[in-house]
Structure formats: C-alpha cells, structure tokens
C-alpha cells in the first residue's frame, strides 16, 4: 500500500480500516508526510465544513466526580481539594456571560456522580433557558435513559460518553475506578434517544495502532457526531506525572486520519493541545472545532484547570473565573481564512 494512493483515495471517499492503519503506521514520516496528510485532511474538512470553525464555551464543573480511585491522568488524582461545583444560579450567570462573548455553543462539564445526575439536568436546563446557546453536556456514565430524555426535552443537543481508549487493559490501567462497558452503553443510549454523541479519544496513554483503528471504526459505526481527540498531558502529582506527554504531531496525525475516515463529524482537540499557539496545526490537520479555546466560567483552581492566556479577558467575581480566549483564537482563525462561530 502506498501512502500517496491512500491519500488520493481519502480525498474522494472515506478511508477503510486498512488504509487508516497504514497512515498511522508510516514510520518514515517527516515534513513531506505531514504536508501530504494534512493537505488531504484539510481538503476534506473544507468540503464538509466550509470556512466555519466552532469555538465552544465551557462552564463547569457542575458536580464533583465520585470515580474512585480517580483516573490517573486527571487533576483529581493529585488529591488536592477541589473547589465546590457550580450551582444553578451560577450556571445562569455563566451562560449569559458566555453568550455575551459571541459564543454559540456551550459545554456543561460534570463529573461522574449518579447522585447528582438530576442536578446536571437542572444546570443544563438553566443554561438553555437563560441563553440562546446550543448546550451540550459532558458527564461520565451517570446519566440514565430518563436523564437523557429530560436533557433532550430541555433542548440539549449533544451528550458526551468518552472511552479515551478502546483497549480494556489500557482503560483499566489509566481509569482503574471507571467502567468501560458502562461508557459504551451510555454512548449507545445517547444515539438511541436521538441526541448527538460526543466521544473523546486520548492519544499517548498506551493504545496501539490496532486500538486506535478499532476505536475510530467503533465510533464511525455508532455515528459519532463530535470526536474530540486529546493528548496525554501529564499533571504533576498524578500517577502519570512522569509519563511522556503526547506530541502535537501525534495528536494531529490522528485528527487527520479521523477526518479522512469520519468525513463530516465535528472533530476537535484537547488535553495538551488546549493552547491557541497550537490552533493553526489543528486546523491544518482537519479539525473544525475547539472546546477549550473560547470562553470559560469555572472556579479558581490550585491545580490543573485552564491556562489563562495573556491576551484573554479574565476576571474573578464571587469566586468564579470568567475568562475569554476568543479574541486570541478568533484572530488566528481569521488569519487562516476561517470564520469563527
Ligand atoms: S471520570 Fe473524569 S473527572 Fe472523574 S476522575 Fe476520571 S477524568 Fe477525572
């Protein structure tokens, strides 16, 4: 199989699993390889999405996570006390602020907490009622079918169910307190009730090429609507503190392969890619959306959390941080000929 033939095929039709595996296993990479794969993926991105690039807003967390032990890459694994989650009125204020930045979509972030699933629904409803934002919810496997139906009824469009890896051994190694089958079931239920599915893959946690391809085609078969691809970002104080961080090119190669396989799904990036300086690379690789490069409302945190980019607007009011990376991200996107939404 020749890389040039695979890429020529990829501009005309979705790649097969064998072709995707080929692009992920090319060893003799270098500038020419990245130039060609990104050109093919960007071409498909433009066909599917035109000039639009979505900058989601983020509001959270609205409930503490009860996964125990915490996932090994998560800031919760530092065991530093986390600030209290946001209440319903704070969600209303946050949604209004985020709408005022020009944002059109909003992620409500939540931990996995069955006892607080009703509160997650209340927060999503509050955000939808107090703004014109298109709201989506990202929580762990704690939402029942009834919660999903309630979310749909209050106007939520999209719900997250993320595996990070489809390899059960790797999953258990990095998420020893979590349950992969429950997450797969939630993903299936989200689609079954007629909501859009967001599902994250994390690059650099031990998945091999076979795992990546299996994961990608599992999502394709489910009909994933939004596929965020993150890269391991080792956080000091966590069990993965000394692991190798994923490289931006490793993440963006996956973005490009995902674009050539999934075609018109939204593809975004995260983890160690949450930096406006890496936005041009994401766009070139075929991404059309970024979750954490827009406006945020969250509590001040002593560990992990979101970087305050110097050009961002940022203010702290009543123990909430209101920050806006849109001016920086929008300028980069416009320079690339794209229209931020
Ligand atoms: S489920 Fe999410 S919030 Fe909870 S420990 Fe794992 S990564 Fe952290």
From the list 107, 52, 82, the residue with the least C-alpha distance to 295 is 107
Specify the pLDDT at position 70: 96
Residue nearest to atom 5 of ligand 1 (CA): 70
Question: Where does the chain show beta strands of DSSP type E?
Answer: 52-55, 57-60, 105-109, 134-138, 158-160, 196-198, 201-203, 226-231, 266-271, 289-290, 295-298, 313-317, 320-324, 339-340
* Closest by CA position to 224, among listed 171, 261, 251, 256: 261
- Say yes or no to pLDDT of 302 above 70: no
CB 156 within 8 A of CB 121: no
Of 58, 74, 233, best ligand 1 pocket probe by most atoms within 8 Å of the beta carbon: 74
Distance between CA 12 and CA 258 in Å, rounded?
15
Q: How far apart are CA 323 and CA 93, in angstroms?
A: 13
Name the band, by pLDDT with cuts 50, 70 and 90, for residue 187: very high
pLDDT at residue 219 greater than cutoff 90: yes
Structure tokens at 53: 């690039």
Q: How confident is the model at residue 314 (pLDDT cuts 50, 70, 90)?
A: confident
CA of 77 to the centre of ligand 1 (A): 9
Å from CA of 287 to ligand 1 middle: 24
How long, in residues, is the chain? 341
Q: Write out the residue range of the structural domain in which residue 108 sits.
A: 3-340
Give me ligand 1 centre to Cα 331, in Å. 32
Q: Is the pLDDT of residue 124 over 90?
A: yes
Judged against a pLDDT cut of 60, whether residue 310 lies above it is answered with no
CATH of the domain at 17: 3.20.20.70
Q: Which of 194-203, 307-316, 324-333 has the lowest mean pLDDT?
A: 307-316
309, 325 contact by CB (below 8 A): yes
Supply the pTM of this predicted model.
0.95
Which pLDDT value is given to residue 309? 56
Measured CA to CA, the distance from residue 228 to residue 14 in angstroms comes to: 19
Whether residue 305 is predicted with pLDDT greater than 60 in this model: the reply is: no
Where does ligand 1 bind, in terms of residues with CB under 6 Å? Answer: 65, 67, 70-71, 74, 76, 111-112, 140, 178
pLDDT, tens digit, 9 for 90 and up, residues 266-301: 999 988 889 999 999 999 999 999 999 999 999 987
80 or 148, which is more confident? 148
Q: Taking each helix axis from N to C terminus, what angle separates 31-49 and 3-12, rounded to the nearest 10 degrees? A: 10
Q: What is the pLDDT of residue 271?
A: 82
The total number of structural domains that make up the chain: 1
């Amino acid at each position: 199989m020749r890389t040039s033939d695979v890429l020529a095929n990829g501009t005309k039709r979705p790649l097969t699993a064998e072709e995707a595996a080929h692009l992920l296993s090319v060893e003799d990479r270098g500038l020419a390889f990245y130039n060609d794969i990104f050109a093919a993926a960007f071409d498909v991105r433009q066909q599917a999405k035109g000039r639009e690039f979505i900058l989601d807003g983020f509001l959270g967390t609205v409930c503490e996570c009860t996964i125990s032990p915490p996932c090994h890459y998560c800031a919760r694994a530092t065991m530093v006390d986390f600030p209290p989650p946001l209440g319903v009125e704070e969600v209303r204020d946050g949604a209004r602020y985020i709408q005022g930045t020009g944002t059109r979509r909003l992620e409500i972030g939540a931990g996995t907490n069955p006892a607080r699933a009703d509160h997650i629904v209340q927060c999503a409803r509050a955000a939808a009622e107090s703004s014109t934002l298109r709201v989506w919810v990202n929580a762990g496997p704690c939402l029942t079918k009834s919660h999903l139906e309630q979310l749909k009824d209050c106007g939520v469009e999209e719900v997250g169910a993320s595996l990070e890896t489809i390899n059960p051994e790797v999953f258990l190694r990095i998420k020893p307190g979590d349950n992969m089958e429950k997450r797969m079931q939630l993903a299936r239920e989200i689609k079954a009730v007629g909501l859009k599915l967001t599902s994250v893959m994390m690059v650099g946690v031990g998945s091999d090429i076979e795992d990546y391809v299996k994961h990608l085609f599992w999502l394709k078969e489910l009909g994933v609507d939004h596929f965020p691809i993150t890269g391991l970002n080792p956080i000091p104080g966590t069990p993965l503190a000394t692991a190798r961080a994923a490289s931006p090119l490793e993440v963006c190669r996956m973005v490009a392969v995902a674009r050539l396989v999934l075609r018109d799904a939204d593809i975004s990036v995260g983890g160690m890619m949450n930096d406006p300086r890496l936005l041009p690379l994401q766009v070139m690789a075929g991404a059309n959306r970024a979750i954490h490069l827009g406006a945020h409302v969250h509590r001040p945190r002593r560990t992990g959390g979101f970087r305050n980019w110097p050009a961002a607007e940022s203010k702290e009011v009543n123990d909430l941080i209101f920050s806006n990376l849109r001016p920086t991200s929008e300028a980069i996107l416009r320079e690339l000929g794209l229209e931020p939404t």
